Structure 1
Amino acid sequence: MLVGIGPGSVEHMTGRARAAIAEADTIIGYVTYIKLVADLIEGKEVIRKSMTEELDRAIEALARARAGKKVALVSSGDAGVYGMAGPTYEVLFEAGWTPDSGIAVEIVPGASALNSCAALVGAPLTHDFCAISLSDLLTPWPVIARRLDAVAQADFVVALYNPKSGRRTQQIVQAQQLLLRHRRPDTPVAIVKSAYRRREQISFTTLDQMAEADIGMLSTVLIGNSQTFVREGRMVTPRGYANKYALEEGGATRAGEQAGRSLSTGLLGWLRALQAEHQAGATPDELARRHRLPADYIVQALLAPAEAPTAAAAEEGEA
């Protein structure tokens, strides 16, 4: 059982996570994670591993399972998000494991760091977001840098995992530089250390000041998008209701918009506007620059139908 224990406090673990640990004969995990579940593992075989021994944990779990033990391999957060699920499956497949080989595998989900930290600072993940790890122990830096540049340009809220350590001090600086190419210096940033644990720390800063903040391996960094704001100590990313509804007028629908329908600037509305711009003389290259989209995509969009299908056509497509 690959058990996500959430941020670490027992009250934030799922009922299934607690039950899985109770059922297990053997508990395996990073020493810090073992400490977080110490109250739940009394009387069990406990195998503690160091930070960089992820494959050793998976190999040990397989060996114990083959010996007939019921094993709980614990991860903080969610086992499938920068956790032990991936390396464990790699070890299993390398050993020739199949679902019918006699060893059952269960992944027990848990709240990842981005969920836990977001809950503490407000609602920063209400709109599109992504997670990027700054650890280059296993991922080449150019890959990480390209991802940072892409999400910054695309205006995602960004959750940075593994932002800084005693040896890796420049990755957060490089990330800041890449993000500042596309984001305002005053973009809100929240830094949460040890969420829901004894030494929890929460601080707010801005993108241009981010690299000077107190950040370590136990920190998660949440960087807002162009709409994110901080008010009354809460970081919020609007979902976009103000695009359709006049909140200052009691939520009345704005002119040109319809409740329950795509925005007037949604796909079909945008296609109609794009094609009108093209008919007015704008070239695909000009439209690509104007909308900050690839030119070949613009060419395809100009050929796409800009009207919704009829009810009959929609039913036929569904059939």
Structure 2
Amino acid sequence: MAKLTLVGLGPGSIDLVTPAARDAIESADVVAGYKAYVDLITSLIDKQEVIQSGMTREWERAAAAIDAAAEGKSVVLVCSGDSGMYAMAPLVLELLQQRNPELPAVELAIIPGITAANACASLVGAPLGHDSCTISLSDLLTPWEVITKRIEAAAMADFAITFYNPRSKKRKSHIETAQQILLQHRAPKTPVAVVNAAYRDDQGVMLSTLDSFTSLEFGMNAAVLVGNSNSYYFGDWIVTPRGYKNKYQLETGAVLSGQKRGHSLNTATAEQQGEAVKARQEQGEKAGELV
């Protein structure tokens, strides 16, 4: 049976392409992909036939890769990040579903890659340390009204958020609208990181806050990571706590009074402890004012 393998290349550095992805690319008869992504793996391409095209030509690339595989060739279709995250896997599956049953069957394999969210987060600490989501601000395939509903829902649920496709030459106001929605639910000084071209030659990392990050210069190659209500800066790192301090004494590792290791969090006890910590912080601030 003909075989098509979808390969996630990760953020762009050849060092972050997985061994499984390397093996698939090097052993393929055909390598297909967006030209900019194929250029990232030229060191892995020797005798393979190359099928490449430009931006907005996803359907053509997917169809060409399927057709090549149906001819009996071993085909790899490469994507940045992970092929299932805003990439080619959904389209390929949809095309295979619609394929004429009389045509040769194509076996599909998917090799995962490091997502942009994970890659960008690694450069700024642990901004995705608790529940998080990704939202693309591109409205080329999704109505803007749907996107704003998702931003509102994520803001209300206190997810840490990674925004993909945050800004382009034609679309500059969407990220500002997202900012205003988030400011209705999050403090102005919530940590924000803007990471451009993670792990590529033109990588750039900018740290900011929710109320001011939109003044930074960034475009489609960037991802914007916004912390949740508990996120904070530790030097140049962003930390989104997992919640261990609700159950354990971080200095000693001891289980807090009223809590049990391996059992659900006793929220009443946790709330009382949180209120006590807040009261001590307020007393300390007042003492500082008196001095």
TM over 0.5: yes
1:257 paired with 2:259, answer yes
What residue in structure 2 maps to residue 240 of structure 1? 243
The code of the aligned residue for 2:256 comes to R
Alignment gaps of 5+ in structure 2: 271-291
Deviation at 1:101, TM superposition (A): 5.2
What residue in structure 1 maps to residue 83 of structure 2? 79
What residue in structure 1 maps to residue 57 of structure 2? 53
**Alignment check: 8 A CA contact 2:189 2:209 kept:** yes
What residue in structure 2 maps to residue 94 of structure 1? 98
Separation in 1, partners of 2:21, 2:261 = 41
Deviation at 1:113, TM superposition (A): 0.4
1:68-110 per-residue CA deviation (whole Å, 9 max, x = no partner) reads 2211100000000111000011111111469x95321101100
What residue in structure 2 maps to residue 199 of structure 1? 202
SS at match of 1:29: strand
Separation in 1, partners of 2:29, 2:12 = 21
Q: How does 1:92-171 map to 2 (within 5 A)?
A: 92-96=96-100, 102-171=105-174
1:190 paired with 2:193, answer yes
Counting matched residue pairs gives: 266
What residue in structure 2 maps to residue 42 of structure 1? 46
Alignment gaps of 5+ in structure 1: 271-319
Deviation at 1:43, TM superposition (A): 2.4
Identity %: 48
Q: Between Structure 1 and Structure 2, which shows a larger proportion of helix residues?
A: 1
Separation in 2, partners of 1:128, 1:96 = 41
Separation in 2, partners of 1:101, 1:241 = 54
What residue in structure 2 maps to residue 173 of structure 1? 176
Question: Aligned-residue CA RMSD in angstroms?
Answer: 1.8
1:22-50 per-residue CA deviation (whole Å, 9 max, x = no partner) reads 11111111111011111111222111111
Structure of greater Rg: 1
1:141-175 per-residue CA deviation (whole Å, 9 max, x = no partner) reads 11000000011011100000111111111111111
What TM-score does the superposition give when structure 1 sets the normalisation length? 0.80
Separation in 1, partners of 2:234, 2:104 = 55
What TM-score does the superposition give when structure 2 sets the normalisation length? 0.88
SS at match of 1:125: coil
Structure 1: 4+ residue segments shifted above 2 A: none
- Larger RCO, structures 1/2 (Cα 8 Å, 6+ apart): 2
SS at match of 1:251: coil
